[in-house]
Chains A and B, each alone.
Chain A
Amino acid sequence: MIKTTAVVVGAGHAGLAMSRRLTERSIEHVVLERGEVANSWRTQRWPSLRLLTPNWQTRLPGHDYAGDDPDGFMPAADVVATLARYARLVGAPVRTATTVHTLRADPQGFEMQANDDLLRAQAVVLATGACARPAIPGIAGAMPPSITTLTPLAYRDPGQLPDGGVLVVGASATGVQLAAEIHRSGRPVTLAVGEHVRLPRTYRGRDIFWWLEATGLLAERYDQIDDLTRARHLPSPQLTGTPEAITTDLNSLTALGIRIVGRLGRITDGVAQFSGALANTCTLADLKMNRFLNRADEWATASGLDDELPPPHRFAPTRVDPRTPLELDLTAGEFTTVLWAAGFRPDHSWLDIPVRDRNGHIRHDGGIVTGAPGLYVLGLPVLRTRASTYIHGAGADSGALADHLHAFLSGRRLR
């Protein structure tokens, strides 16, 4: 039996930020990590992936980007190196190769089974990541056996795919990026497009994340957002991090020769059927993008930046071919592979505490888990602000939750 005050589960950016916050408050803790620091980035990300956020924004508590390319986008390998360096910098007490199998609550605190050890703690912070499991729709069960299926967690590069056509299901950050990479490898890609968030990589000479931060959008608090459920489930923006800072949108993918179809709705007798609502899906995304650009322009004018920045402009509407097919036969030989890029989910299924709703989502108020005092969750989309979705959001979030955790421990000692 190992006893400690607090346990952090997961040594990614969020868990390490929390470790730093706990150390600042002299709260004894351990960080349990199933693999090594930044395990998901080491083992479940494809090598060509780069952060969607620019380097200057890759801030963690007590650490700012100090490299020579602040406007660049960090490749996965550099994210691993950065987080490993950060773990050493903050002296995070990480126990690697330690998998937590169960977590139980009792009046005295929390008990968890990690490898062969039993641990007890007063407080637990879940930082196991927002992208632990790929979302795979139920219709996957009807996939013809001739098709190779793959998730982004297992994808490394196009060379691992058979030759032939590839259906990429999902057109958010992952889907658009992999569609382009796979299509360039000579495997013709069809991209099934559901609801998505279109944003240009740069606007008026600045990166889109500069605009999102400067206009105050990323700082919007979770308890001030009209439709929080929707905000938390919004797909990741269609962005890629490339050295050239290019915009990857549906128009640019069409120009590459990628075929755009509607949301994959059903597979019947080997035939994939797609939504006929593609045109409206694209219109909604164009309208939403333009609403943000309007807000950005209004902010720039109000801030007196119009002389400094290039003039406002708008991007071409998404072009949808009126002859877009509604059905494609997956058994006719054109397709060999389907890649699921339909989003990711956190995995809290191992918790032995009834804190999940009927959809399996953990119930929490800005990271303070509902109905389990002393339990916290970190590193989820729009956890406390819209910035929570991104690495730098863990800074403020971990600070606020560490304050709450500290007060919780103090209250417990008084009783």
Chain B
Amino acid sequence: MTITDSPVDNGVNVEALLGAREALSGAPEAAQFTFRASCTWRKGTHSHSTVAGFTGLGAEQQHRTTYEFDVDHPECFASEDNGATPVEFVLVGLVGCLTAGIASVAQYRGIQLRSVTATIEGEMNVLGILGADPDVRNGFEAVTVRFAIDADASREDLEALIAQAQKRSAAFDIVANPTKVLVELA
């Protein structure tokens, strides 16, 4: 099945993505993006972040609107719970990235999706962040994502779909592989 005569519509413009790949391969500077967020401390563990602009395609770009996020810790950590925890934002980023990948790869492979739902869990021993046990890491010991997909495709095709979505996922790469992080005083 070719892309052009495919009746499949997952709402993904695969031709635009393939066009972008072709165009950006010849213009490596334009392919260099910088994503960013701004954060302001409110009170206690509560902070407020906004995402509005990013750099890419050789220019400054703007989201359709400014997105706002409250980050906090739950009440059981003696906080006010004004928003999701930072680690939950990581989970949201990862599962959102994988889901976008599933829709895109399904479109490219001619698989019509009827529904895609996922649960994502990160296991964490808080003795790490509390500094109570030097053998326990701060972050997740493991992350598990479980996708339920209703589509006209065999189980084997769906397994290949989620494998490819992981392979091409930025957030999956960030979580699964070491990333250089610099934190400095302005």
Contact = CB atoms under 8 A, between A and B. Distances in A.
A280 B165 CA distance: 10
B41 to A, nearest CB: 29
Interface in B10-32: 25, 28
B177 A284 contact: no
Contact of B177 (A229, A276, A358): A276
Contacts of A263: 177
Contact of A266 (B25, B160, B173, B178): B178
A82 interface: no
A287 B160 contact: yes
Contacts of A283: 159, 163
Contacts of A277: 166, 172-173, 176-177
B164 interface: yes
B167 A265 contact: no
Q: Is the interface of A mostly helix, strand, loop or mixed?
A: mixed
User: Range of interface residues on chain A?
Assistant: 10 to 19
Contacts of B90: none
Q: Is the interface of B mostly helix, strand, loop or mixed?
A: helix
Interface in A275-333: 275-277, 280, 283-284, 287
A284 B164 contact: yes
A36 to B, nearest CB: 41
Which of B166, B167, B173, B176: most chain A Cβ within 10 A?
B176
Which of B28, B163, B167: most chain A Cβ within 10 A?
B163
User: Range of interface residues on chain B?
Assistant: 10 to 19
B175 A358 contact: no
A284 B167 contact: yes
A229 B25 CA distance: 11
Contacts of A262: 176
Interface string A245-288: 00000000000000000110110100001011100100110010
Nearest to A268: B178
A280 B159 contact: no
A339 B164 CA distance: 29
Interface in A344-375: 358
B159 A287 contact: yes
A273 B166 contact: no
B104 to A, nearest CB: 16
A284 B176 contact: no
B178 A273 contact: yes
Contacts of B177: 263, 265, 275-277
B166 A280 contact: yes
A76 to B, nearest CB: 35
Contacts of B164: 284
A148 B178 CA distance: 24
Contacts of A266: 178
A260 to B, nearest CB: 16
A258 B167 CA distance: 25
Contacts of A265: 177-178
B168 to A, nearest CB: 11
A284 B159 CA distance: 9
Contacts of B176: 262, 275-277
A368 B106 CA distance: 37
Nearest to A286: B163
Interface string B61-73: 0000000000000
A284 B176 CA distance: 16
B163 A280 contact: yes
Nearest to A284: B163
Contacts of A229: 25
B174 to A, nearest CB: 11
Which of B167, B173, B177: most chain A Cβ within 10 A?
B177
Contacts of A358: 28
A322 to B, nearest CB: 8
A263 B167 CA distance: 13
B173 to A, nearest CB: 8
Contacts of A276: 175-177
Nearest to A285: B163
A265 B175 CA distance: 12
Contacts of B173: 277
A277 B143 CA distance: 11
Interface string B155-186: 00001100110110000110111100000000
Contacts of A284: 163-164, 167
Which 8 interchain pairs have the tightest Cβ spacing?
A266-B178, A276-B176, A277-B176, A265-B178, A280-B166, A273-B178, A265-B177, A283-B163
Interface of B: 25, 28, 159-160, 163-164, 166-167, 172-173, 175-178
Interface of A: 229, 262-263, 265-266, 268, 273, 275-277, 280, 283-284, 287, 358
7 contacts: A229-B25, A263-B177, A265-B178, A277-B173, A277-B177, A280-B166, A283-B159
Given A229-B25, A277-B176, A283-B163, 5 more contacts: A263-B177, A265-B177, A266-B178, A276-B175, A287-B159
